[in-house]
């Protein structure tokens, strides 16, 4: 059986929730391999809406859901999210949920540092969600992180606390904050430990057994490739690698486990927070896209910036992540536009280029080169076959395929799971 890796091929918010939910209902295991609770998925199943940000989407359908070691875990956020899911009738047990015992923890001190930095940055803000993701990853690579497995050995934590406090106390002093209250931190960890440890295990072993049994694994990415710490619009990025290759290091399975790489792509472009956005529309059209697309962040509720489809960016992200096919979402938001534009290149210093440059100043300076297409007046809402789509909508989709040099695997025409035109089945490809 084929595995499937789902990644966002723009700046996140591409509509991964619906696609992952649909795939999860046919998978045997769903794995989160990077990020934290800074990315949200909204699922609509049988008329009920679920908003999740940390637990893999498969949990709603009872599919084995695993948080891999590449994720930074806020144990208090995990407990709150599971409590909310259980309140909606979702059963979460050791049989259908597991957390890697080598996951680094997000602590209250990480959230504090995140907020202090953003407040002090002024115009230099990068638009962090303030949930402590970045500082937790910093402690991981700085080899001073407290991990899930440490919760079972809190009495032996002093040497790690010494390293952690030596770093954070100096930073906190620079912001005029008192040093870490070690006793309070230990008490908070001791209280939350039993809840987290009931789900903790070496998940690479469980995943190895799932794979040996020939079962289907769905790797669920968070955010989007344009927020990748290496390949995104640096420094306006997240603190982890969001490309498909991260599944190997973030789950404990090898790189040959990725299978079909499905890039989720919105039929226009959105972005939350600061950073370059070549096709952004600060006009009536941008407002129309945002209103019709209900463009507000699942986690932050921040209003998303909106613009025309940028084929340059998506072509680049598909290449970076080895995308096999894309799932095009929210095509219905473009219903009724007389004219639709697609960005096919950039103008930088008088020259036309076909990629997004690495330097932030160049990224901010590029001007989009547009191609115009006739829009459609019919509706795409609820379409489940090509025959249900207006001819111009099909032309738009085919032009996107040509420009991004990657085929369309499916087209989503509403938030409902079944309102999808399936071209290629990732699990059967």
Give me the active site residues, please. 13, 41
Cα 248 to Cα 5, 255, 264, distances in angstroms = 11, 5, 20
Cβ atoms of residues 33 and 289 within 8 Å: no
Q: Can you point out the beta strands (E) in 277-366?
A: 305-307, 309-310, 325-329, 339-348, 351-353
Q: Which residues pair with 406 in a beta bridge?
A: none
Rounded Cα distance between 332 and 421, Å, is 13
Residue 423 C-alpha from the chain's centroid: 24
Cβ atoms of residues 422 and 410 within 8 Å: yes
Strand, coil or helix: what is 41? strand
Q: Which two tokens stand for residue 220?
A: 């669920």
CA atoms within 13 A on the CB side of 285: 16
Q: How many helices, marked H, and strands, marked E, lie in the chain?
A: 12, 18
Cβ atoms of residues 243 and 321 within 8 Å: yes
Q: Which two tokens stand for residue 163?
A: 């390293």
Strand, coil or helix: what is 327? strand
Rounded Cα distance between 347 and 336, Å, is 29
Cβ atoms of residues 324 and 262 within 8 Å: yes
Rounded Cα distance between 90 and 378, Å, is 38
Residue 52 C-alpha from the chain's centroid: 12
Residue with tokens 């330097």: 359
């Amino acid at each position: 059986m084929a595995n499937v890796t789902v990644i966002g091929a723009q700046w996140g918010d591409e509509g991964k929730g619906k696609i992952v939910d649909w795939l999860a209902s046919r998978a045997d295991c769903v794995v989160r391999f990077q990020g934290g609770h800074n990315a949200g998925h909204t699922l609509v199943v049988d008329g009920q809406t679920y908003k999740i940000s940390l637990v893999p989407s498969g949990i709603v359908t009872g599919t084995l859901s695993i948080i891999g070691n590449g994720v930074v875990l806020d144990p208090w956020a995990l407990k709150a999210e599971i409590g909310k899911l259980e309140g909606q009738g979702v059963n979460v047990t050791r049989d259908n949920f597991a957390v890697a015992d080598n996951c680094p923890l997000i602590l209250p001190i990480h959230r504090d540092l995140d907020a202090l930095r953003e407040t002090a940055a002024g115009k230099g803000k990068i638009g962090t969600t303030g949930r402590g993701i970045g500082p937790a990853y910093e402690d991981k690579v700085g080899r001073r992180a407290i991990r899930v497995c440490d919760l079972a050995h809190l009495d032996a934590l002093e040497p790690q606390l010494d390293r952690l406090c030596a770093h954070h106390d100096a930073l906190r002093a620079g912001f005029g904050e008192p040093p870490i209250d070690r006793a309070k931190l230990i008490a908070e960890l001791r209280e939350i430990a039993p809840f987290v440890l009931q789900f903790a295990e070496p998940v690479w072993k469980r995943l190895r057994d799932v794979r040996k049994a020939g079962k289907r694994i769905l790797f669920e990415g968070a955010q989007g490739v344009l927020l990748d710490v290496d390949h995104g619009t640096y420094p306006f990025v997240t603190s982890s690698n969001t490309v498909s290759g991260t599944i190997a290091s973030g789950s404990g399975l090898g790189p040959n486990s990725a299978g079909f790489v499905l890039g989720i792509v919105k039929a226009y472009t959105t972005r939350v927070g600061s950073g370059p956005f070549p096709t952004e529309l600060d006009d009536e059209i941008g407002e129309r896209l945002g209103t019709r697309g209900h463009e507000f962040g699942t986690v932050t509720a921040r209003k998303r910036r909106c613009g025309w489809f940028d084929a340059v960016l998506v072509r680049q992200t598909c290449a970076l992540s080895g995308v096999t096919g894309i799932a095009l979402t929210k095509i219905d938001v473009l219903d009724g536009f007389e004219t639709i534009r697609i960005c096919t290149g950039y103008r930088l210093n008088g020259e036309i280029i076909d990629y997004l440059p690495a330097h932030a100043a160049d990224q901010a300076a590029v001007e989009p080169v547009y191609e115009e297409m006739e829009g459609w007046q019919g509706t795409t809402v609820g379409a489940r076959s090509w025959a249900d789509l207006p001819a111009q909508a099909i032309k738009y989709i085919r032009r996107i395929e040509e420009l991004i040099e990657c085929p369309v695997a499916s087209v989503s025409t509403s938030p409902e799971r079944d309102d999808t035109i399936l071209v290629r089945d990732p699990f059967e490809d």
